Structure 1
Amino acid sequence: MAKPKKVLKIIAGVIVFFTLPTLLFFGFLYFKYDEDLPSGIKGEPAELLATKMLNSLDHDAYESTNHLEWTFNKRHHYKWNKAENTCQVYWKNYRVDLDLNDPYKSEVYQNDQKVDKDSSKKLIEKAVSNFNNDSFWLVAPYKVFDPGTERRLVTMEDGSEALLVTYTSGGTTPGDSYLWHFDASGKPQSFQMWVDILPINGLEASWSDWTTTESGAQLPRFHKFMIFGFEITDLVGTK
């Protein structure tokens, strides 16, 4: 009977060895970074701040950009036809010709062979989820006036103004909120996130390495999130 007890002790010790540091690290991050969603004021000041951000990025140039192509974090590649609201989504050996108006009209290919409708449903859902996430990291500043958004002006402790944008509908996770911080010109330099996918509220990610595409749209090439970096490469924007 002693032997099974010894085995159980070893198993329990291994579990504690691997999980305790993780729990301690998470606890440290939680108490260091977790923040309540800030309160802000709706109305004209918030609308003006959102408009200032769009002006700093030449919103008209983005609106006239009909084609965007990029690779997110070396994993997913996109060819987005904004004018037609379609996008070719690539990952591994899959390609989904995504109809963003009616996703289930989309067509799926594996190794350039068309996948039948019965097998394509989950792949279409994955393509939609990937597109919603990865395009947000590319064009989120231009989405502050999307239908279903609410904007609030938040005054920070140092006296600076930040813009809280809440997505009450649409996307993959409606209800998410983002607090935009700006440089002196009004261009976004980071945002904090209150989102379902993250267990810690208020974590911050940078928006940097801005580049101007052929169409004139200004878009980021890099995001720093804690110890991680997300690259946006192969970026092309045309009218």
Structure 2
Amino acid sequence: MKRFLKIIKVTGIVVLSLILILVITGFFVSEDLPNGKKGPEADQLAQQILNELNYEAFEKTKIISWTFAGVHSYEWHKHKNYVIVSSEDYKVKLDLNDYDQSEVISSKDLDYENLIETSIRNFNNDSYWLMAPYKIMEDSVERRLVKKDGKKSLLITFISGGTTPGDSYLWEVDENHRPTSFQMWVSIIPIGGIQAKWKDWVETQSGMILSTKKSVFGIPIEITNLKTSL
């Protein structure tokens, strides 16, 4: 419990520091959501990204497990549509078909309902930071091609689903169409256009290609204990 409280304290300091940085710099760096064009070119770029990251392997992968930022661990049984969410103090099984069927396996917190809701939010957030590029051709996503300085980027907007529908991300890619970063226009951050870098890509056991390190304002977000299986 002492370690858990320490994690909460450190996390709180980091979050408050980040908020302060955002507030101070927001007036100078906030950008408007760019205009883009829907249509075949946007879909073609999206498909090129998926080909580069071996989307076929993602489709065939049955289990994906990882630890996010050293705090939450996940074992997502994608083929059965449930996930085990765990930390030092709890373990929860989320039924992704019906959240009402989710259950707390073990916990030091007796507020099970709140723990399940928190686990849902954490999984939605942490899984997105792991495998966001694989979602760009989903039915709930609107795609637009953005051209700037001779480079093509892919602007996606989630029009439904998830925890925060309406969020937009502008993906930048290299010459092989592998993502290098995205800019965010999201409801939880009052500043538009904050950039997150995606790097340290690895090919996993099932053939999926995933980024194991992201960074925002130079603050690293690391993915560890990453495993996938067919």
SS of alignment partner, residue 150 of structure 1: strand
Q: Unaligned 5+ residue runs, structure 2? A: 1-16
**Aligned counterpart in structure 2 of residue 179 of structure 1, from 167, 170, 178:** 170
**RMSD of aligned Cα (Å):** 2.0
1:151–1:233 distance in 2 versus 1, CA, 3 Å: same
- Aligned residues with identical type, % of pairs: 46
The unaligned stretches of length 5 or more in structure 1 are 1-20
- Describe how 1:79-228 pairs up with structure 2 within 5 A: 79-111=75-107, 119-156=111-148, 158-228=149-219
Name the larger-Rg structure.
1
| In 2, Cα distance between equivalents of 1:195 and 1:23 | 14
Aligned mates of 1:60, 1:23 — CA distance in 2: 39
Q: Which consecutive aligned stretches of 4+ in structure 1 deviate over 2 angstroms post-superposition?
A: 21-28
Structure 1 contact 104–121 (Cα < 8 Å) conserved: no
Shift of 1:148: 1.5
Alignment correspondent of 1:70: 66
Comparing 198-207 with 119-128, greater Cα deviation is found at: 119-128
Q: CA–CA distance in 1 between the matches of 2:206 and 2:157?
A: 29
Amino acid at match of 1:142: Y
Query: Residues 23, 220 of structure 1: CA spacing in aligned structure 2 closer, same or farther, 3 A cutoff?
Result: closer
Q: Aligned pairs, how many?
A: 214
Show CA shifts across 1:147-168 (max 9, x none).
2210000001x21000000001
Q: 1:101 to 1:75 in 2, by over 3 A?
A: same
**TM-score normalised by structure 1 residue count:** 0.85
Counterpart pick for 1:231 among 216, 219, 222: 222
Deviation at 1:24, TM superposition (A): 8.6
Name the structure 2 match of 1:36.
Answer: 32
The separation in 1 between residues aligned to 2:127 and 2:61, in whole angstroms, is 14
Aligned-pair distance for 1:27?
A: 5.4
State the Cα distance separating 1:28 from its structure 2 match: 4.5
Deviation at 1:110, TM superposition (A): 2.9
Using the alignment, how far apart are the partners of 2:220 and 2:56 within structure 1? 29
TM-score (norm. length: structure 2): 0.88
Aligned-pair CA distance for 1:30:
1.4
Partner in structure 1 of residue 53 of structure 2: 57
| Structure 1 letter corresponding to 2:56 | D
Q: Is the 8 A contact 2:22 2:191 kept in 1?
A: no
What amino acid is aligned across from residue 176 of structure 1 in structure 2?
D
